[in-house]
Structure 1
Amino acid sequence: MKTRLSLLTLAAAALLACAPAGAAQQAAPAVKPAPAAATPESRQINALADEYYESLARFEPVWATENGDSRFNDQLGLSISPKVRQQQFARYRSYLKRLSSIPRDKLGQRDQTSYDILKFELDTALRLAAFPEHLIPIDQMVSMPVILANYASGQGAQPLSTPREYRAYLNRLAQLVTHIDQSIVNMREGIKRGVVQPREPMQSALPQFRQLVAAKAEDSIFYTPITNLPASFTAAEKRSLTTAYRKTIANKLNPALRRLSTFLEKDYLPKTRTSAGWNALPNGAAWYAARVAGMTTTNLTPEQIHEIGVKEVARIQGEYGVVGPKMGYTGPAAGLPRWVSEQPKYKPFTSDQQVIDVYRELDAKVRTKLPALFTLMPKSPLDLRLEPELSRATASDHYTPPAVDGSRPGVFWSVVNDPKQYGSTGMVTLYLHEGQPGHHFHIALVQELGLPNFRKFGGNNAFTEGWALYAETLGKEMGLFEKPEDYFGHLNDEMLRAARLVVDTGLHAKGWSRAKAIQYFQDTLGYSEPEARAQIERYMVWPGQALGYKIGSLKIMELRKRAESALGEKFSLPKFHEIVLGEGTLPLAVLEAKVDRWIAASR
């Protein structure tokens, strides 16, 4: 399942568009730079890495918030501004030049890894600098107004429990006005240059932006913090905050949201394109190839990825043929997902509480299994929560990382809109992916390894989602797939990731229409037309993002098999997991080199 973290990591790792600039005004836990290094070369690489991270966090303060760095929680930034973008990319060129002057062979192993990651990130950013992603700052999946609306509950990455935190969020709301107006300017320029979103996703997006416009301040979703003022606040604090929120929303934010909604409906939507793929945009094929390289951290071409997807789909359908009869299904293997979706017994819930209770029972069971598979585990706790009603309609199941200061645990958020329609077959694999040993083991652990800040708070999609998808497969070794319906759920989620390889490359490199991609999802995954449409429209506006899951997982599985074959009885699965997780998030080529070194040393 897509996580909010991966959503924003995509924007930041690709260094495209979501927010820069300005020193944080709130007092927040200091983010310690990398420890002093022993040699001049090590001091150079660590100083450069720290400077790079500070630049990125100021450029993308919402990304920093999502990844546990709360120092910039009062800043929104304006990275969609052409001028700010140019300034940031100039910094990256300077950093890359400085990096090339550091002799890599004189660095220790840890610093060599930092060198390789930093080079990958800078190369990726500068490759993408040529493409005008800032001209399409809004879609149905992510936009700055919706991100801040989802923060209004105070239960997400931006906390709302003290007067200072309330003022920080209010500052972001005030800055959102400028961000909205810059978005409109950018989209007008995009219309002139033929760089616009496809029509159907923007039709889906329009209701979101209409709903953000309130008749009066008190009706706005952004006023929610005031309706939830903590009892511990003084009367004076409550009065001051209430007045400030009301004025900002009524006089500034609500008019800006109305401008945006009207612009999208009257001016932008009629100019959107009828094509589905990125290759329809100016220089779109090269643009897509750059995104594919960044999202997969590989040199695989779209055509190669498409073929991998086709083969994986066929393999998983073979597994359907085995598990289907165990569930009472006797039809063609490809029809199993649809049949399961129609069985009432796999939708047993009548309340939200029943859903979260099952996840908590599963959590307790998994905790007893983990020590046999892992010796390296995060200290930060994992909490399981239901998505608040406020953001339920626009959210999907996701994980949010712990705060670096320990004030917030990692959280697996379960989204239950209608418990009677909540399927039980995918719950085991979803927990393994979003909870532990999936995202929590990777992301929480990254904060505890003493890594340079750009590695502690950064990352890439292929490793992050690849690890979480690989973690799903460990359910078999934990004995969690003994019920055929649970194993089907695992296969069905794996099928989704394989089918994504086919449709993403189909849409953006092979000329597939939206209708063809929707039909493929219906046929392959048994989705209803609305379910398939929502998924395909996601891939239409996020080209390449969905590729990292399967490509990353396949690489980790490949490396595990290589190590098992090479080491035989010397192979240790807990040690392999330690090797994979022990230095944080790595580009796949860097991970492969690390595993190969371990194999050679272990022999």
Structure 2
Amino acid sequence: MNNKSALGALAIAAALACAGASADTAAPAVSSAAHPAQVSVAGKQLGALADEYYDALARFDPVAAGESGDNRFYDQIGMSISPAERAKQFGLYKGYLKRLHAIPREQLTPTDRTSYDILDYELKTALRFEPFPEHLLPINQMDSVPVMLANYASGEGAQPLVTVRDYKAYLNRLRQLGPWIDQAIANMREGVRLGVVQPQALMKSALPQFKQLVSNKLDENIYYTPVKHFPARFTDAEKRELTEAYRGTIDKTLNPALARLATFIEKEYLPHCRTSTGWSALPNGKAWYLARVASQTTTALTPEQIHQTGLREVARIQGEYARIGPKMGYNGPAGGLPAWVSEQARFKPFKTDKEVIDVYRKLDAELRQKLPKLFSLRPKTPLDLRLEPELSRATASDHYTPPAVDGTRPGVFWSVVNDPKQYGSTGMVTLFLHEGQPGHHFHIALMQELNLPNFRKFGGNNAFTEGWALYAETLGTEMGLYNKPEDWFGHLNDEMLRAVRLVVDTGMHAKGWTREQSIQYMRETLGYPESLARSETERYMAWPAQALGYKVGALKIQELRQRAEKALGPKFSLPRFHEIVLDEGTLPLSLLETKVDRWIAASR
């Protein structure tokens, strides 16, 4: 998934940083038939509270809401980094939790009980983050509001640019960006005072992005791009009005603010950034990281348990390398296979961006024929395939962005091609199964089509979202997509990346690993060149624990499938299992496990 979106979905709910399931998650269901009038009242109370809660989240971080498909507030960027707004939001969470607990859960329908449990889960975890000053770290090399809005200038992202109203909405966001930047600078100055600062390596990577946003000539300013591509149906008067408005905003307020930010980062912030690597180096950093681990995995697993799981998975996959290597013409040590593959010219066959995207389009067409045998429940919303905009290519990875719920934007698989001659072919099948279909698209687009409360329709958690997508990669075996040894290697190599993430993320943030130690480990296990190992390491430094959800979630879904296959034998239906996993949207892993166990018992 779009990493900016993945964290946007977390920003929209600090609440999605979930700590653990509600204590009564597995409480026995109480028949609603006994108290129909009371159930109706309780259900209405829950529905009203859930809607109020979600609207507060969307208003708090409208950019994240738009990334998740909700464009109601697409003319606002919000000020979630403001200390006053942040305190107000935590106050709302406390009030919502108190009101939620006043609703008699036993009088709710089974569907509403699930919503109750998820809401309880999210609110408790949101409040767990109250002591940690995340607002003092408003930008990094992976994502920031200025860069996100710059990417929207093409009109291909989560900001529609089709009508005059759309243009004015984007302009309104640009007018708010100057004050946001000044608040970010104030926050970072406070962070310097308190010792809550980014690692120096990350800000060195981020600085060129912010310098690039500053322009000496208006026509070269990326935020001016919409004016250079007006839709033909705009009248001359509309074009003149919008041109003047964009010109004034960019020249008078936005460009000076961007210049202030770039100068501040280079001259004032960078010299005070820390040379340490892990989150544990921050004040109260160990507890902060533990909260992030719980949020990103929706489990009570400790960093050490996750670290050991990663080491076991690395060893297992290297065993598969030993089996598949000779079939590819490699007879060296298993651990050297990735590096050997990266050096083979036959696995880098592309000369142009178009050749890359054409391979994905052919695969997409093949999947449309194969997936109905595995899925009885599929999204109606289409999936589009596009190339990543130039501004963000250097730091982005191939990813997915959700559709707009109003149908104005499809789900999109973005292919990031910096140099087509260096784009490897071995991982394309497994990547598309993850980012396209049946991975993120089947989960996220389908979630928007289900009759769910908005906080569930647009929310989620990382362990389910990324766990499902990683599980989806394994389905390539059943569809005959890994018959070529190099494609199976590509799948194994992506699995290895997710296993390595468990090792290096916990290593850096909980076990004292240095940035250089992580880079070296990634080079040795994944065969990465130094530049790629560095950018991946710095991603995990910027987003502590975000990379843990993939493997933890996938292992849980695989475990549940194996449990169902063993328990049901010939009665097991793979399409039905997939429907059980997906038909209520995103669930914390504990709730998903309870649901699958209930289905197994009923199916027996």
TM, length-normalised to structure 1: 0.95
Conserved? CA contact 1:170–1:245, under 8 Å? yes
1:247-262 alignment to 2 at 5 Å?
247-262=248-263
Matched, 1:204 2:230: no
- Give, as a single letter, the amino acid of the residue that structure 2 aligns with 1:427: M
Instruction: Report the counterpart of residue 81 of structure 1 in structure 2.
Output: 82
Instruction: Report the counterpart of residue 113 of structure 1 in structure 2.
Output: 114
Instruction: Report the counterpart of residue 155 of structure 1 in structure 2.
Output: 156
Change (3 A) 1:472 1:503: same
- Structure 1 residue 16: deviation in Å? 9.5
SS, match of residue 383 in structure 1: strand
1: CA distance, partners of 2:168 / 2:2: 30
Conserved? CA contact 1:13–1:460, under 8 Å? no
Instruction: Report the counterpart of residue 343 of structure 1 in structure 2.
Output: 344
> Over residues 86-130 of structure 1, what are the superposed CA-to-partner deviations in whole Å (9 max), with x where a residue is unaligned?
000000000001111112122111001101110111111100111
- Structure 1 residue 232: deviation in Å? 1.3
- Structure 1 residue 228: deviation in Å? 1.2
2: CA distance, partners of 1:315 / 1:8: 33
Instruction: Report the counterpart of residue 362 of structure 2 in structure 1.
Output: 361
Instruction: Report the counterpart of residue 127 of structure 2 in structure 1.
Output: 126
Instruction: Report the counterpart of residue 286 of structure 1 in structure 2.
Output: 287
- Give, as a single letter, the amino acid of the residue that structure 1 aligns with 2:7: L
> Over residues 355-388 of structure 1, what are the superposed CA-to-partner deviations in whole Å (9 max), with x where a residue is unaligned?
1111111011111111111000001111112223
> Over residues 535-571 of structure 1, what are the superposed CA-to-partner deviations in whole Å (9 max), with x where a residue is unaligned?
1011111101111111111110011111111111111
Instruction: Report the counterpart of residue 27 of structure 1 in structure 2.
Output: none
SS, match of residue 411 in structure 1: strand
SS, match of residue 195 in structure 1: coil
- Structure 1 residue 415: deviation in Å? 1.4
Conserved? CA contact 1:346–1:425, under 8 Å? yes
2: CA distance, partners of 1:178 / 1:492: 44
Q: Name whichever of 79-88 and 105-114 sits farther off.
A: 105-114
Instruction: Report the counterpart of residue 538 of structure 1 in structure 2.
Output: 539
- Structure 1 residue 406: deviation in Å? 1.5
Superposition misfits of 4+ residues, deviation over 4 angstroms? none
- Give, as a single letter, the amino acid of the residue that structure 2 aligns with 1:178: P
1:225-304 alignment to 2 at 5 Å?
225-304=226-305
Instruction: Report the counterpart of residue 522 of structure 1 in structure 2.
Output: 523
Instruction: Report the counterpart of residue 586 of structure 1 in structure 2.
Output: 587
Unaligned runs of 5+ in 1: 18-35
- Structure 1 residue 15: deviation in Å? 4.8
2: CA distance, partners of 1:37 / 1:59: 33
2: CA distance, partners of 1:590 / 1:52: 21
Instruction: Report the counterpart of residue 7 of structure 2 in structure 1.
Output: 7
- Structure 1 residue 38: deviation in Å? 6.3
- Structure 1 residue 14: deviation in Å? 2.8
1: CA distance, partners of 2:352 / 2:310: 37
SS, match of residue 447 in structure 1: helix
SS, match of residue 184 in structure 1: helix
Instruction: Report the counterpart of residue 146 of structure 1 in structure 2.
Output: 147
- Give, as a single letter, the amino acid of the residue that structure 1 aligns with 2:264: F
SS, match of residue 196 in structure 2: coil
What percentage of aligned pairs have identical amino acids? 71
1:331-410 alignment to 2 at 5 Å?
331-410=332-411
Conserved? CA contact 1:279–1:285, under 8 Å? yes
1: CA distance, partners of 2:84 / 2:47: 28
> Over residues 407-433 of structure 1, what are the superposed CA-to-partner deviations in whole Å (9 max), with x where a residue is unaligned?
221111111121111110010011101
Conserved? CA contact 1:78–1:179, under 8 Å? yes
Conserved? CA contact 1:217–1:254, under 8 Å? no
Conserved? CA contact 2:12–2:65, under 8 Å? no
2: CA distance, partners of 1:516 / 1:407: 45
Q: Name whichever of 139-148 and 406-415 sits farther off.
A: 406-415
Change (3 A) 1:65 1:2: closer
Conserved? CA contact 2:188–2:269, under 8 Å? yes
Instruction: Report the counterpart of residue 420 of structure 1 in structure 2.
Output: 421
SS, match of residue 274 in structure 1: coil
- Structure 1 residue 392: deviation in Å? 3.1
Instruction: Report the counterpart of residue 31 of structure 1 in structure 2.
Output: none
Instruction: Report the counterpart of residue 219 of structure 1 in structure 2.
Output: 220
Instruction: Report the counterpart of residue 557 of structure 2 in structure 1.
Output: 556
SS, match of residue 476 in structure 1: coil
Instruction: Report the counterpart of residue 181 of structure 1 in structure 2.
Output: 182
Change (3 A) 1:503 1:394: closer
Instruction: Report the counterpart of residue 21 of structure 1 in structure 2.
Output: none
- Give, as a single letter, the amino acid of the residue that structure 2 aligns with 1:13: A
- Structure 1 residue 4: deviation in Å? 3.6
Q: Name whichever of 415-424 and 83-92 sits farther off.
A: 415-424
Conserved? CA contact 1:3–1:397, under 8 Å? no
> Over residues 495-521 of structure 1, what are the superposed CA-to-partner deviations in whole Å (9 max), with x where a residue is unaligned?
101100000000000000111111000
Instruction: Report the counterpart of residue 21 of structure 2 in structure 1.
Output: none
- Give, as a single letter, the amino acid of the residue that structure 1 aligns with 2:79: L
> Over residues 168-199 of structure 1, what are the superposed CA-to-partner deviations in whole Å (9 max), with x where a residue is unaligned?
01110110111100000000000110100011
- Structure 1 residue 394: deviation in Å? 4.0
> Over residues 118-161 of structure 1, what are the superposed CA-to-partner deviations in whole Å (9 max), with x where a residue is unaligned?
01111111001110000010110011101111111100111111
Counting matched residue pairs gives: 585
- Structure 1 residue 391: deviation in Å? 4.0
2: CA distance, partners of 1:4 / 1:541: 12
SS, match of residue 545 in structure 1: coil
- Structure 1 residue 395: deviation in Å? 2.9
2: CA distance, partners of 1:212 / 1:174: 15
Conserved? CA contact 1:37–1:46, under 8 Å? no
- Give, as a single letter, the amino acid of the residue that structure 2 aligns with 1:279: S
- Give, as a single letter, the amino acid of the residue that structure 2 aligns with 1:312: E
Conserved? CA contact 2:15–2:123, under 8 Å? no
Conserved? CA contact 2:386–2:415, under 8 Å? yes
